[in-house]
């Protein structure tokens, strides 16, 4: 039987240095997450500090409610912490992070939509005039003077974004405000890169038409 080449036996020191080299080649967030996996709480605090505001703001743009956006963001970071033991840096950390955030936001929006539908059904069967009045929403169309104000422009943009289908809205928010590339967005949304480009194109085209007067 021919002699097989001996498997190189790494000393504990050289194994640690190899691991450290592998970790050093990873992105900063993945390095931090691997340290969290090893039990380093400080690294979790650093990750939280880096991503707290972007995640809360992304969720705020998705759900348009500050309390809910913070509640959902807490759930995102809780899930990150809970999954620390099984974390493997197979994708960018932010891809994973926004995937969780998107999943939670879309679930919340879906549940909210169901509740609203139920409410509208209740109203349809409600004979009381007063309750109908209570549920009336103020006219969101801004006047010419109001359009001059920045806050009204913001409201108009938000309203336009809210009318987009869920996937288009998510893609635009990640692309424009979180500055994720289409490759990363395709991983967050679990669709092909060409489909993501098409999604973004349709979303921007819809927004262009709706917001043309603001350009």
Task: Using CB under 8 A, list all residues that contact another protein.
Answer: 48, 52-53, 56-57, 60-61, 66, 70, 73-74, 77-78, 81-82, 150-151, 153-154, 157-158, 161, 172, 175-177, 181-182, 194, 197-198, 200-201, 204-205, 207-208, 211-212, 214-215
For the CB of residue 44, give the shortest distance to another protein in the complex, in Å: 9
For the CB of residue 163, give the shortest distance to another protein in the complex, in Å: 14
For the CB of residue 199, give the shortest distance to another protein in the complex, in Å: 9
- Identify which of residues 26 and 160 has a Cβ nearer to another protein in the complex: 160
- Identify which of residues 26 and 210 has a Cβ nearer to another protein in the complex: 210
For the CB of residue 214, give the shortest distance to another protein in the complex, in Å: 5
Q: How far apart are CA 11 and CA 4, in angstroms?
A: 21
Q: How far apart are CA 66 and CA 15, in angstroms?
A: 47
Nearest to 203 by CA among 173, 183, 159: 173
Torsional sign, CA 147, 152, 154, 156:
negative
Query: If you search the block for the tokens 């913001």, which residue do you land on?
Result: 154
Give the number of other CB atoms < 10 A from CB of residue 185: 26
For the CB of residue 85, give the shortest distance to another protein in the complex, in Å: 11
Nearest to 35 by CA among 20, 55, 15, 53: 20
- Show the DSSP H helices in 125-165 as ranges: 129-134, 144-147, 150-162
- Identify which of residues 109 and 195 has a Cβ nearer to another protein in the complex: 195
- Identify which of residues 56 and 97 has a Cβ nearer to another protein in the complex: 56
Q: How far apart are CA 98 and CA 75, in angstroms?
A: 12
- Identify which of residues 26 and 52 has a Cβ nearer to another protein in the complex: 52
């Amino acid at each position: 039987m021919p002699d097989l080449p001996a498997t190189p036996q790494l000393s504990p020191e050289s194994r640690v240095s190899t691991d450290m080299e592998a970790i050093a080649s990873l992105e900063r967030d993945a390095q931090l997450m691997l340290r969290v996996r090893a039990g380093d709480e400080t690294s979790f605090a650093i990750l939280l500090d880096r991503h707290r505001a972007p995640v809360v703001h992304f969720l705020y743009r998705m759900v348009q409610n500050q309390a809910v956006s913070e509640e959902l963001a807490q759930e995102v970071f809780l899930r990150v912490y809970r999954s620390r033991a099984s974390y493997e840096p197979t994708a960018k950390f932010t891809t994973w992070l926004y995937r969780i955030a998107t999943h939670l936001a879309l679930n919340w929006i879906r549940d909210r939509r169901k509740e609203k539908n139920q409410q509208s059904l209740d109203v349809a069967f409600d004979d009381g005039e007063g309750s109908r009045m209570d549920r009336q929403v103020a006219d969101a169309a801004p006047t010419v003077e109001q359009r001059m104000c920045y806050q009204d422009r913001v409201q108009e943009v938000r309203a336009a974004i809210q009318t987009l289908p869920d996937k288009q809205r998510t893609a635009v928010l990640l692309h424009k405000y979180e500055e994720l590339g289409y490759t990363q967005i395709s991983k967050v949304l679990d669709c092909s890169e060409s489909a993501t480009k098409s999604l973004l194109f349709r979303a921007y085209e819809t927004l262009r038409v709706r917001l043309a007067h603001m350009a």
